[in-house]
Amino acid sequence: MSVWNPDNIRDIAESVGVVNLNNDVTENLARDVEYRIAQVLEESLKFMRHSKRTLLTTQDVAQALRVLDVEPLYGYESTRPLRFGEASLGPGQPLFYVEDEEVDFEKLINAPLPRVPREVSFTAHWLAVEGVQPSIPQNPTAADSRNLELVSKGPNANSTLAAMSGSGNVAVKPLVKHVLSKELQLYFEKVCSAFLDETSEEYRTSGYSSLREDPGLHQLVPYFVQFIAEKVTHSLKDIFVLTQVMHMAEALVQNKSLYVDPYIASLVPPILTCLIGRQLGSNADLPEQFALRDLAASLLGLIAKKYSHSSHTLKPRLARSCLKSFLDPSKPFGAHYGAIIGLHAVGGPEAVRVLIVPNLATYASLLKDGIAEDNPRRPEAEKVLGALVAVLATLREGRMPLSNGHTGVVTDELRARLNGKVGELIAGKIAEAGEVQMAHAILEA
């Protein structure tokens, strides 16, 4: 049984020339009309609620019809209520219509003209620079700020304070969430797409140059940091993407106009992932993997050098992370390679002397097994061996050249002492290169 009267369906059908409708047809059409009206009302109520209103307007109904792909009504507006008049066509047949508004032409013609609006003008000023509000006429003064602090801020707040400030009846607008301008949003999208464009190296170079040198990008720094973290998290198999986001992080750190200190804690984890991560890219990308780790190590050293003054625990935490990966035998040789060059980049020769040399005697056995002929991890182990020899060579920096009869050959006695210090494999490499000064520096470490 339909709530909608089937007689209305029959009357409308007769008005368009359809007569003698079956009762079942009128009943089904009445149910369909009832369903359609309920659907329109439901969509209209959604527009009303999202508009924070409790009164349903004709505009809500028109929007609901448009959403339902139905031609909206014309000739009605919701800015003022409709006035209906009643006319009688005969006994018991009233007709309601919308009354037209009467306009007095004499009053309309003699009404004074409206005032000419002022010309539109624009001016620009700095609202804040690095979080500090400049003292200019466009910005509120310190006295205004103190008055705002005295304003009553709640239903139970002290009204005496509001009276003291002279603004007892002033409603203070709540702080709104900052929204990036369209220009900055477009710049962010263009720069990110430039870094990830594999087809044009010139496009990537221009994006890198812009991010490294352009001022006025303070609002975009957290968005770039978040973009780097997301790409590293979801693109561990793509060496190209990881390399480009490391270049992006490098450009942010090298930009002298940006204040990146608060975001270093969020920027370091993705860099460490590219430095000491277990698996970066595929097995076929071995040279690219080590190139990425070299880039991450240099970037980590730059961060440690530039921001250690603002965070005294930055260098120890970075060194601890690299040392933990270096001392973990379950990690692949690629992670050990990143840990070794990372320790040297963060702490220099002193970190090599204190953290790497004391552990080489134990690590040499693991490295010796990896460098065996039948070991599939031999290429990675050879890279680690080369990295160890390279960082150990930095220990001779600042040392006086050997004299007084010292030759450039590592003697058997010196090599035996070196074997106990760094292991037979590394000692053999040093002896082959004739690095007597390096050997003495290692033994004195």
CB 239 within 8 A of CB 285: yes
List residues bridging with 129 in a β-sheet. Answer: 132
- Token pair in block for residue 182: 């369209």
Whether residue 184 is found in the same domain as residue 289 = yes
Whether residue 188 is found in the same domain as residue 266 = yes
Report which residue type is found at 417. R
CB 260 within 8 A of CB 319: no
The number of C-alpha atoms within 13 Å of 148 and in the hemisphere containing its C-beta is 10
Q: Identify the band that residue 408 occupies on the pLDDT scale cut at 50, 70 and 90.
A: low
What torsion do the CA atoms of 24, 27, 31, 33 make, to the nearest 10 degrees? 110
In a domain, 229, yes or no: yes
In this prediction, residues 3-13 reach a mean pLDDT of: 83
- Asked whether the predicted pLDDT for residue 120 surpasses 60, the reply is yes
Within 10 angstroms of residue 257's Cβ, the number of other Cβ atoms is 11
Measured distance CA(182)–CA(186) in Å, rounded = 6
Whether residue 371 is found in the same domain as residue 276 = no
- Token pair in block for residue 295: 């880039």
- Asked whether the predicted pLDDT for residue 172 surpasses 60, the reply is no
- The overall longest dimension of the chain from CA atoms, in Å, is 136
In a domain, 103, yes or no: no
Q: For position 244, what pLDDT does the model report?
A: 92
DSSP one-letter code for 85: E
66 Cβ partners below 8 Å, 6+ apart?
72
Lowest mean pLDDT among 39-43, 87-91, 104-108: 87-91
Distance of CA 373 to the CA centre of its chain: 46
CB 51 within 8 A of CB 43: no
- Token pair in block for residue 377: 């991890």
In a domain, 415, yes or no: yes
Q: Identify the band that residue 278 occupies on the pLDDT scale cut at 50, 70 and 90.
A: confident
In a domain, 124, yes or no: no
Whether residue 185 is found in the same domain as residue 302 = yes
Mean pLDDT for all residues in the chain:
81
In a domain, 383, yes or no: yes
Whether residue 226 is found in the same domain as residue 286 = yes
In a domain, 149, yes or no: no
Whether residue 367 is found in the same domain as residue 303 = no
CB 98 within 8 A of CB 77: no
Within 10 angstroms of residue 318's Cβ, the number of other Cβ atoms is 25
Q: For position 405, what pLDDT does the model report?
A: 44
Return the axis-axis angle of helices 182-195 and 201-213, rounded to nearest 10°: 130
Domain closes at, from 77, 95, 118: 77
Whether residue 302 is found in the same domain as residue 379 = no
Domain closes at, from 77, 105, 123: 77
Q: Identify the band that residue 434 occupies on the pLDDT scale cut at 50, 70 and 90.
A: low
Q: What share of the chain is helix, strand, coil (3-state, %, to 5)?
A: 60, 5, 35
For position 254, which CATH number holds? 1.25.40.770
Whether residue 284 is found in the same domain as residue 373 = no
In a domain, 257, yes or no: yes
Number of domain units in the chain: 3
Higher per-residue confidence, 374 vs 190: 190
Measured distance CA(306)–CA(254) in Å, rounded = 10
Percentage of the chain with pLDDT > 90? 18
Whether residue 304 is found in the same domain as residue 411 = no
Whether residue 420 is found in the same domain as residue 360 = yes
Whether residue 298 is found in the same domain as residue 389 = no
CB 303 within 8 A of CB 267: yes
In a domain, 53, yes or no: yes
Domain extent, residue 55, equals: 1-77
| 3-state DSSP assignment of residue 258 | coil
CB 410 within 8 A of CB 434: yes
> Residue length, the chain?
445
For position 65, which CATH number holds? 1.10.20.10
Whether residue 368 is found in the same domain as residue 265 = no
Domain closes at, from 77, 93, 108: 77
